[in-house]
Structure 1
C-alpha cells in the first residue's frame, strides 16, 4: 500500500474531496488538486460539482455542462476523479450530506479529507450542521502565502483542539484539521466568465479540452 510517511504503512485508503460549482473548472482547481494528491499520496481525489450551492448564487450553466467540463479536465489523471452524487440530489448541496454518503461507502478506517480554501473554512459556522463535519472527515485547509486574515472566533477553540501541524500525520478516519500550502494562482471562474462574455481569450486558464467544449456549446456568452 502507498507509504504515507517515513514511519508506517497502512491498508486504509486516503481519499480527498474537493467540491465546488466548477463554473467552469479551471487551472486553479486542478493545480490545487494535483498538489494535494501528490503531497499526501492520496489514493483518490474526487472533484464533486455542486448542484444548488446554498451559500452562493446559482451556477451560470447547467449541471450537465459543468459535469462534462470536469470530466474533460480530468481525462488521463488517474488519481483525480469526478463524482456526480450532488448533481443527482433534488435539494441544495450540503457538504454534510455528501460526507455521510461517502462515509457509508468506505471502510471504517479509510481517511476522508475535505479540502477547503481559507475563505470557505472561515465560513464554516454558516454551514448546515457544520459542527458534525469532523465526525465524518478530516478537514484540509488550502493556505496561500498571501492569506493574512484570522479565523473567526467560532472556529478558534476547534482549531486549538483539533489542529495538527503536519498534514501527512493526520491519523484515524476523521476528526482533525491540518493546513497545507498551495501555489497561489490568481485565477477565478468569475474572471474567466467575464473574459468569455467580452469575447476575449481564456486559453491557458482552463484546459484546452474544456475551452473547446465551452466554444462548441456557446457557453458564457454575455455572462459575467
Structure 2
C-alpha cells in the first residue's frame, strides 16, 4: 500500500460509520462494497442497522427477528461489522433521520458521523422523511450501484449534490457532518429481490450470500 493511501486511512479512521437496510436477506451486494469502502477510508468498524418497518418500500417477507438473525450470522466472523438492533425494538416506521439524531446525541457533537447509502438511495433521497436534515447530523457515503444514473431527478437536487459533494475523503474526518462522498466501490449486481425470487423458484443462491445465511433461510423455510 502506498504511503499516500496509508496516510489517508489514518487521517479518517475516526469516522463513526453506519449502514442501514431492510436486509431481507443480507447478501454480498451489501457486504462486499462496505468492506472495500472500509479499506479505502480506513474505517475501523461499520455498524449495521436493520430496519423494522421501512416506510418507503414494500414490507419485508422475513420478520424483524429473522432478519436480525441473518445479519448476525452474516458478520459473525468479521470484526469490521457490529450490529445495532435499536430500530427493531420499535413498532413505528424506521425513519433514518430520527435514528441518526439519537445516535448523534449519544456520540456527541464533534464526532465525525457517516451514514452509508447505495447510489439507488441517493437518487430517491428526496422521498425520505426530513431528508434535508441528514447533512445537519452526518456525512453521507454513497456506494455506487449497477445500472443507476449519476444524475439526480432535477436541477435543484443536482445543485444540492454539487454543493456538498467532496472528492477529498480526508475532509470527512475534519468536520463532524455536512459532506457527501461518492465512493469508488465494486459494482456487484446482487439484489435481495432477485435472491427472494430465486428462492421462490427453488433456484440455488450460492455465491450471492454467506453460507450461514443460506442455511438459516433453509432452516426457517423462508422465501417459499
TM-score, normalised to structure 2's length? Answer: 0.90
Matches within 5 A, 1:2-81: 6=7, 13-81=14-82
The whole-number CA distance in structure 2 between the counterparts of 1:38 and 1:19 is: 19
DSSP-derived class of the 2:222 partner: coil
- 2:127 is aligned to 126
Cross-structure match for 2:153: 152
Runs of 5+ unmatched residues, structure 2: none
Relative to structure 2, which stretch is displaced further, 168-177 or 5-14? 5-14
TM-score if structure 1 supplies the norm length?
0.90
Aligned residues: 219
**Structure-2 separation of matches of 1:9 and 1:212:** 38
8 Å contact kept, 2:9–2:40:
no
- Corresponding residue of 2:207: 204
Q: Is the 8 A contact 2:12 2:42 kept in 1?
A: no
CA distance in 1, matches of 2:142, 2:208: 23
Q: Which has the higher contact order (CA 8 A, sep 6+)?
A: 2
CA RMSD of superposed structures (Å): 2.1
For residue 53 of structure 1, give the secondary structure of its aligned residue in structure 2.
coil
Distance 1:191 1:88, change over 3 A: same
| More deviation, 132-141/11-20 | 11-20
The Cα of 1:81 is off from its aligned counterpart by 1.1
Pairing partner for 1:163 from 145, 162, 165: 165
- Report the Cα offset of residue 173 of structure 1: 0.7
